[in-house]
Amino acid sequence: MKHTISVQVEDKPGALARISTMFARRGFNIDSLAVGPTERSGVSCITLRVDCEQHSLEQIEKQIHKLVNVLRVTELVPGEAVERELLLLKVAAAADKRADLIASAAALGGRTLDLGADAVVFELTGTPEELDSFQELARPHGIQELIRTGRIGMSRPSTRRTSRRLSAIN
C-alpha cells in the first residue's frame, strides 16, 4: 500500500542525505520525493511517497524520527490531507491536431506554456490521479518529455485530524 510521509527537518547540510541513506540501507523504496522550504525559516519539508506494508511504515517513521535533524514525522492520511503534484508535459502535436489537447488541459485546470511547430508544453497541477488521466489522454499523441515533481501535501483543516505523529509509542 502507498503512503505519504511528511518530514519536517532542520535545514542543515546532509539532512536529506541522511534520510535517503536510511531508506536505502533498510531496504525501503521511495516512489517520489519532494523537498522545499516551509513557513518556518531554517525548516524544510521532505514529502516522501513510499509503497510498503503498515509494519514497514512504522519502522520507517521510527527510524526517520531518530535522525538528529528531524523535527517531526507525519503520515498524511488519504481523505484528511490535500495532496498535489505538478506535471510538465511536452506532447508531439502538429498545429492542426492540438486543439482538443489544449481544451482537455484547460478543462483540468492546466495551462499551455509553450507552443512549438511540432509540440506543445503543458503544465498541470492536481491530484496524482488527475495528472495520470491527463497523461493517458496525451499519450496517443506522443509524449516527448514528461516530468512530475513528486507529491506534496498538508492536512485539511476542515476534517478532524487523525494523521498520526510518530512518537506514537511514547
Partner 1 sequence: MSGTNRMTGADAVLRSLEAEGVDVMFGLPGGAILPLYDAIARGTTVRHVLARHEQGAGHMAEGYARASGRPGVALATSGPGATNLVTPIADAWMDSTPLVCITGQVRSTLIGTDAFQECDITGITMPIVKHSWLVQDVKEIPAIIKAAFHVATTGRSGPVLVDIPRDIQEAELDFSYPDEVDLPGWRPPSKVHPLQIREAARVVALAEKPVLYVGGGTLNGDACEELLQLAEVGRLPVITTLMAKGAFPESHELHFGWPGMHGPKWSNFAMNKCDVLVAIGARFDDRVTGKLAAFAPGATIVHLDIDPAEIGKLRVADVPVVGPLKMAIAELTREVERHRSEGVPAPEAWLQKIVDWREEFPLRYDKSDELKPQTVIEKLQELTARDDVIVTTGVGQHQMWAMQYIVSERPRTFITSGGLGTMGYGIPAAIGAKAARPEATVVCVDGDGCFQMTQQELATAVLENLPIVVVIVNNGYLGMVQQWQDMFFAERRSQVHLTRQVPDYAMLAQAYGALGITVESEDELGPALEEALASGRTAVVDCRVAQSEQCFPMIPAGAAAIDMIEYGESVEAM
Between 56 and 144, whose beta carbon lies closer to partner 1? Answer: 56
Between 44 and 110, whose beta carbon lies closer to partner 1? Answer: 44
Between 17 and 107, whose beta carbon lies closer to partner 1? Answer: 17
Binning the chain into helix, strand and coil, the percentages to the nearest 5 are 30, 40, 30
Q: Which stretch binds partner 1 (CB under 8 A): 52-60, 104-112, 126-134, 145-153?
A: 52-60
Q: Which stretch binds partner 1 (CB under 8 A): 19-27, 44-52, 135-143, 157-165?
A: 19-27
DSSP string, 81-150: EEEEEEEEEEEE--GGG-HHHHHHHHHTT-EEEEE-SSEEEEEEEE-HHHHHHHHHHHGGG-EEEEEE--
Of 55, 107, 147, 160, the one binding partner 1 (CB under 8 A) is 55
Number of helices (H), then strands (E), belonging to the chain: the values are: 4, 9
Binding positions for partner 1, rule: CB under 8 A = 9-10, 13-14, 17-18, 21-22, 24-25, 55, 58-59, 62-63, 65-71, 166-167, 169-170
